[in-house]
Amino acid sequence: MSEAAGGRGCGSPVPQRAPWSLVAATAALCLVSATSVWTAGAAPMSREEKQKLGNQVLEMFDHAFGNYMEHAYPADELMPLTCRGRVRGQEPSRGDVDDALGKFSLTLIDSLDTLVVLNKTKEFEDAVRKVLRDVNLDNDVVVSVFETNIRVLGGLLGGHSLAIMLKEKGEYMQWYSDELLQMAKQLGYKLLPAFNTTSGLPYPRINLKFGIRKPEARTGTETDTCTACAGTLILEFAALSRFTGATIFEEYARKALDFLWEKRQRSSNLVGVTINIHTGDWVRKDSGVGAGIDSYYEYLLKAYVLLGDDSFLERFNTHYNAIMRYISQPPLLLDVHIHKPMLNARTWMDALLAFFPGLQVLKGDIRPAIETHEMLYQVIKKHNFLPEAFTTDFRVHWAQHPLRPEFAESTYFLYKATGDPYYLEVGKTLIENLNKYARVPCGFAAMKDVRTGSHEDRMDSFFLAEMFKYLYLLFADKEDIIFDIEDYIFTTEAHLLPLWLSTTNQSISKKNTTSEYTELDDSNFDWTCPNTQILFPHDPLYAQRIREPLKNVVDKSCPRGIVRVEESFRSGAKPPLRARDFMATNPEHLEILKKMGVSLIHLKDGRVQLVQHAIQAASSIDAEDGLRFMQEMIELSSQQQKEQQLPPRAVQIVSHPFFGRVVLTAGPAQFGLDLSKHKETRGFVASSKPYNGCSELTNPEAVMGKIALIQRGQCMFAEKARNIQNAGAIGGIVIDDNEGSSSDTAPLFQMAGDGKDTDDIKIPMLFLFSKEGSIILDAIREYEEVEVLLSDKAKDRAAILKGKMIPSYIINSNPEMENEEQPSSENDSQNQSAEQQVVSISQTVDLVDQESPDESSLNSSPESSSPADSEDASNISPSEQTSSPTANHETPSLDGECTDLDNQIQEQSETEEDSNPNVSWGKKVQPIDSILADWNEDIEAFEMMEKDEL
């Protein structure tokens, strides 16, 4: 996708009747024609250092891919902590995340074209042979149509694209006769029954063997799908049609896109997150560029690039104008309501929006791309990785990080557009963090909690399909790649499709024949291909000047634009009342509540109840302010509830061969040494006898000066702690006796005392579920002496390994870096009502159910309790847990200097725990109908974000 490929200069407008190959090539890569010009914004990186980093990426890929092939293949994915494959049905269900697994060696297929990009052509040839020999697409398993399309169909097509390229070069793949394409066609036909709906939108899931709506299919009853699920098909399906000549695939994908376009909200030109596949009604009416919608926008622009159909570009430009008008609040991208786009739908952002700066580069809108990317990079520097969700004041909202590649993708495209070596340094940081915090002996493990550094036994296929591809291309020069990458377009899974498909088998109408909107609206249509010489008019410091005002936006600045303010307030009127400033004893505040339609009721039990009737508000603006106030009040109450609870802790294995590279999520105790206030405890582990620790130990010499391993059950946790402490143990790890339990699927809890004074317990105590505990037990069986570190969060490996004899590759891949402070998470928004909202504010918090004193749940939902045994977890009712903002509540600024309360969010404790997305408000939220129904989406958003690419 170069100037030569397009045949025209990037600044030239593309005529409406230009050949589609010309349009595609020109639109796709004219942005990078000025690459390597802008080098003054940061110190240039030498060719030698770039090569060194590129080689490091190759070594990292070998580590990940090699361990998958050795320990997991032919399973779909590698479980890097337990060094085995993840097979659907043999592991505890992870919900929608497992829908990507179809028993078709997912990671191998997803990695095919990555092997070629990384110049591993011999390995690619071997991998193709394995796919053809071993992969079965006729399995009785229900899979996600979306995930199967982008990962498996896209992987097969990407592999085919590069196989025929290598065959034409004459050295490799001479035996190849389109076998991968035939597999792709077979899979395409298996996916087609999902489109058997009146709307043309596909069902979200399909059985690979039995299809849809048959009894044995176990699927086909769904009514809803996400916008990205239905709108991220056109590249793969159209490519399959163009490769094979079977037009049916492109026709079905186009019909789905046409329907989504018709159902957009006409006044705002935005689309919602979830849509009914039969009626076309929007089920969730919030709109953003992250989870649930992201790749729909991406595929509109890239469909124009690949297929040359101007209607796709018109649609993208129409949506993009709406995004920049309503959603973009630089440097933030905040979800809004499609029919009330001036009203923000939530106060947090999800990690999937990190792809958007890269898409803006392709669009040619560089300034906001630089701004958002810089904000995301600062969040990464603060937490080492981009949390799955983070608040508008940059605190952790959802602490997981499954090694997502979207930020690396945007970094690559920004470097291609600007040539600024700053982005090479960003890529270097990504490499260092992956090696330092995510690398484990059997691959790379997802982060379960970016605050503690604990790991999850998970390495998704997209990590190999995308992350290493973008990182290698970032540091590679043109001569380092055996083919011209600019002749291809990246799918959302970074699979490569050749641009020459735009002129192949063009039997599909280029116009939307099902829509009344067939004429182009030139007011929303930009025919001119963006030119870097115009974007950066001979100013090598262009990107640096955009970044400079944002350099402290995460740590030291009061974030601007966090709350959408109506035009009337911008004109000088008094800003609306914020929940954090509310005082129940302030008459002025009570008057404002009344104006917003909010009533305050004092209950007999000491709680204060807030009820909103939107129709009683003084105006529509006041009603929306009331909505915002009620939402903030629920979030604020939830946040304060979490302040009363202890966060998860970390068990880090520091002995050979782990060297601190495996971190396990552990539950804390309400007694003993508090690891957040004292230095970590480090020592070798030893099993206690008796293993349950419920009586005086018979092997005190074995646990003396060590960390004792104890089995859960048969007595109180505090009793176990006293017994191992009396035997001379310096700490204790309780391992769940419920075989197969895991922090991946079971809620973490904190161990409570026995109802007696526990001040006599001086050692730290942590709890591990069975799966995590088995990792330590297996290590003891294999290596005998195992040393661990008990701490509030994982420690810097460089400090752990100081003075020890360790392999050089670990030293090289783990440079000493400053260990950043990890912020707290905050509760997600709660369900709201339709005609009214009710918030009950409790003045006290009961953390422990007095009838079950041994455990206290870290999650507030009754469903999240641990399995019952003699140490039953207490099911604390939401009303017992919820705390409230007090009348004299103070709001500290983010940097100790900012005083603009209208744009601040309350700073929370560094020890906050992630919220339970399924929290129930019990009596505090009354059921209602329609006006405020838009607030129901936050809980569903968490479920949406569990999908790996949505």
Alpha carbon of 125 to those of 136, 197, 820: distances in Å?
Answer: 19, 40, 43
Task: Compute the distance between CA of residue 287 and CA of residue 906 in angstroms, rounded to an integer.
Answer: 25
Q: Which of 435, 458, 365 is nearest to 60 (CA)?
A: 435
Locate all alpha helices (DSSP H) within 784-903, ordered by sequence: 797-800, 808-813, 878-881
Q: What is the 3-state secondary structure (H, E, C) of 635-684?
A: HHHHHHHHHCCCCCEEEEECCCCCCCCEEEEEECECCCCCCCCCCCEEEE
Q: Which of 406, 487, 938, 949 is catalytic?
A: 406
User: Would you give the distance in Å from CA 534 to the centre of its chain?
Assistant: 35
CB 184 within 8 A of CB 159: no
For residue 595, give both structure tokens: 């104006």
CB 934 within 8 A of CB 337: yes
Catalytic: 897?
A: no
Task: Compute the distance between CA of residue 780 and CA of residue 684 in angstroms, rounded to an integer.
Answer: 10
Helix (H, G, I), strand (E, B) or coil at 851: coil
CB 28 within 8 A of CB 362: yes
Task: Compute the distance between CA of residue 152 and CA of residue 164 in angstroms, rounded to an integer.
Answer: 18
Catalytic: 701?
A: no
Task: Compute the distance between CA of residue 111 and CA of residue 89 in angstroms, rounded to an integer.
Answer: 23
Q: Which of 251, 256, 289 is nearest to 271 (CA)?
A: 289
Catalytic: 890?
A: no
Q: Which of 294, 350, 625, 680 is catalytic?
A: 294
Q: Which of 869, 914, 868 is nearest to 748 (CA)?
A: 914
Alpha carbon of 497 to those of 470, 502, 552, 944: distances in Å?
Answer: 16, 10, 39, 28
User: Which string of b and e fits 45-61 if b means at least 16 CB within 10 Å?
Assistant: beeeebeebbebbbebb
Task: Compute the distance between CA of residue 174 and CA of residue 926 in angstroms, rounded to an integer.
Answer: 68
| Residue tagged 């004792």 (tokens) | 708
Q: Which of 110, 125, 388, 826 is catalytic?
A: 388
For residue 608, give both structure tokens: 């204060």
CB 166 within 8 A of CB 121: yes
In 699-822, the DSSP E strands lie at 707-711, 731-735, 749-751, 765-768, 787-791
User: Which string of b and e fits 477-496 if b means at least 16 CB within 10 Å?
Assistant: eeeebbbebbbbbbbbbbbb
Q: What is the 3-state secondary structure (H, E, C) of 455-474?
A: EECCECHHHHHHHHHHHHHH
Residues 6 or more apart from 273 whose CB is under 8 A from it? Answer: 226, 227, 284, 285, 286, 287, 288, 291, 292, 293, 937, 940, 941, 944
For residue 49, give both structure tokens: 């250092």
Helix (H, G, I), strand (E, B) or coil at 393: coil
Pairing of strands 454-456, 836-841: unpaired
For residue 616, give both structure tokens: 């009683």
Q: What are phi and psi of 347, to 5 degrees?
A: -110, 25
Q: Which of 835, 826, 909, 824 is nearest to 635 (CA)?
A: 826
Q: Which of 125, 147, 635, 934 is catalytic?
A: 147
Helix axes 406-418, 366-383, angle to 10 degrees: 130
For residue 924, give both structure tokens: 């505090």
* DSSP one-letter string for 542-590: HHHHHHGGGTTTTTTSPPSS-S---HHHHTTPPPPPPGGG--TT-HHHH
Q: What are phi and psi of 757, to 5 degrees?
A: -65, 125
Catalytic: 785?
A: no
Task: Compute the distance between CA of residue 15 and CA of residue 9 in angstroms, rounded to an integer.
Answer: 13
Catalytically active residues are 147, 294, 388, 406
